[in-house]
């Protein structure tokens, strides 16, 4: 079920109404059933993958907690990780590795081929797999007590606001909130509605309208002049930002209406002064996941320099592979590793002070530099293959100025500009909190504009969210 679908317009109010009408002890049943219905609206049979993952991790966590030594616990951790990563590999990466091995075999003159499998990638599998993995690892290391109540654990795995595209929540943060008795409060309800409205606006008005022009550029870059190609790359940066930020914002809003506070996943990342800060502000739940469960266990920066370089590259390469089963994603992650290290070296060698005040000239210039780098690296993320990458960069550099120009509806510029302005306004803030500080007239003027724009300028087609493919 999509947040931007008519079915969700009916689904959410019913769930929230029943949530506050039911006694507290039955709310977990409602939310679990609602979460499964939410997921099955996409494809019924894949709900069994979530259930299997839930049962295995529930069993393994109880077993790990019952054992005295790490050696005894380890076999249940291995079972949990093998099961979860095995399902993820089979559905997401099997064809990628099969195709890569087949290409290697062909280059060596071998005729044997690994068969390719034809199936649909389960939506959200990377997200809920990482969520359950973090729980198993925390139980294994003694950072988290195993959950005894199967129903509450199943709800943690499948909680519908953040099930298919995050944020990736830790058990220690989300599960206690799911058990709390949340009375209806005006502030939570209204702030949740504000976030949902803003999320729908940036998804349906900004991201969906920009996607039409991005598709034109990526499908036929050779048909457009270099200025149009450059603009196409720029608006893709905003398309993916508004698309994913929109989903996360709606998810936070839905949960907040029921008293549950999900972590912020974006904090104006394109206003970052460097790549390191960008990844502290973009997809925060994933960045912190890799920091806590990959980077720090490898030694973080508490090791010699060569091992630190290795740790950085492992994190960025695995992050790239997490996003998709394609060499373009591996290169995308690797490029971030290179740029991150180069920036670190330059700043260290030149002893540059980048601690500028917000929106000072220095801050703006560094943000433009970061945005330019991110925009160029996004080409590898958006492209289907390396041939398309080559075509995009060739068009960007060599296309003549007398070729076709990208024709964009002027109203798109208006709302695009409004979003960029809002990003500056919301620097280190959040839409619901910012709105709460405004006067009554100002708030309702903003509501009216967002509602009008979302109804009038969003298409009749339900555009799926980009991160559903991951």
Residues with a known catalytic role = 323
d(CA 269, CA 238): 11
Phi, psi of 224 (to 5 degrees): -115, 155
Question: In the chain, how long is the greatest CA-to-CA distance?
Answer: 73
User: Running DSSP on this structure, what letter comes out for residue 114?
Assistant: P
CA 13 vs CA 9, 195, 258: distances in Å: 7, 15, 11
Cβ pair 345, 250 in contact under 8 A: no
Q: Which two tokens stand for residue 155?
A: 């709800």
Q: Could you count the other beta carbons within 10 Å of the beta carbon of residue 427?
A: 13
3-state secondary structure string, 226-261? HHHHHHHHHHHHHHHHHHHHHHHHHHHHHHHCCCCC
Contacts of 22 (CB under 8 A, 6+ apart): 30
In this structure, the dihedral spanned by the alpha carbons of residues 359, 261, 297 and 97, taken in order and rounded to 10 degrees, is -90
∠ CA(226), CA(230), CA(233), 5° rounding?
A: 140
Burial 314-327 (b: 16+ CB within 10 A, else e): bbbbebbbbbbbbb
User: Running DSSP on this structure, what letter comes out for residue 149?
Assistant: -
């Amino acid at each position: 079920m999509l947040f931007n679908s008519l079915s969700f317009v009916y689904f959410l109010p019913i769930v929230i109404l029943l949530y506050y009408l039911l006694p507290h002890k039955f709310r977990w049943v409602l939310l679990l059933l609602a979460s499964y219905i939410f997921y099955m609206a996409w494809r019924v049979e894949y709900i069994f993958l979530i259930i299997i993952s839930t049962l295995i991790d529930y069993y393994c966590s109880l077993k790990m907690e019952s054992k005295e030594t790490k050696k005894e616990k380890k076999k249940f951790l291995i079972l949990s990780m093998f099961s979860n990563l095995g399902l993820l590999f089979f559905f997401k990466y099997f064809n990628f590795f099969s195709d890569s091995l087949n290409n290697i075999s062909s280059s060596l003159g071998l005729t044997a081929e690994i068969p390719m499998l034809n199936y649909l990638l389960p939506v959200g599998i990377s997200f809920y797999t990482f969520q359950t993995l973090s729980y198993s690892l925390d139980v294994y290391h003694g950072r988290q007590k195993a959950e005894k109540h199967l129903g509450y654990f199943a709800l943690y795995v499948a909680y519908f606001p953040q099930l298919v595209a995050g944020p990736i929540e830790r058990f220690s943060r989300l599960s206690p909130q799911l058990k709390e008795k949340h009375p209806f409060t005006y502030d939570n309800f209204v702030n949740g509605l504000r976030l949902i409205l803003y999320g729908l606006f940036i998804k349906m008005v900004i991201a969906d309208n920009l996607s039409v022009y991005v598709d034109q550029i990526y499908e036929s870059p050779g048909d457009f002049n270099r200025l149009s190609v450059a603009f196409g790359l720029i608006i893709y940066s905003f398309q993916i930002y508004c698309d994913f930020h929109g989903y996360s914002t709606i998810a936070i809003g839905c949960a907040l209406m029921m008293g549950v506070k999900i972590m912020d996943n974006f904090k104006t990342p394109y206003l970052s002064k460097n790549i390191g800060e960008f990844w502290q502000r973009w997809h925060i739940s994933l960045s912190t996941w890799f920091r806590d469960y990959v980077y720090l266990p490898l030694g973080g920066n508490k090791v010699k320099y060569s091992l630190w370089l290795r740790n950085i590259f492992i994190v960025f390469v695995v992050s790239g592979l997490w996003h998709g089963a394609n060499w373009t994603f591996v290169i995308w992650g690797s490029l971030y590793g290179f740029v991150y290290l180069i920036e670190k070296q330059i700043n260290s060698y030149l002893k540059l002070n980048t601690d500028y005040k917000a929106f000072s000239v220095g801050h703006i210039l560094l943000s433009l530099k970061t945005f330019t780098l991110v925009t160029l690296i996004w080409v590898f993320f958006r492209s289907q293959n390396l041939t398309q990458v080559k075509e995009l960069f060739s068009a960007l550099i060599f296309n003549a100025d007398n070729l076709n120009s990208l024709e964009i509806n002027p109203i798109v510029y208006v709302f695009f500009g409004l979003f960029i302005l809002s990003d500056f306004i919301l620097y280190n803030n959040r839409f619901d909190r910012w709105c709460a500080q405004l006067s009554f007239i100002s708030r309702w003027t903003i509501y009216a504009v967002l509602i009008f724009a979302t109804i009038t300028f969003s298409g009749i087609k339900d555009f799926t969210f980009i991160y559903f493919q991951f």
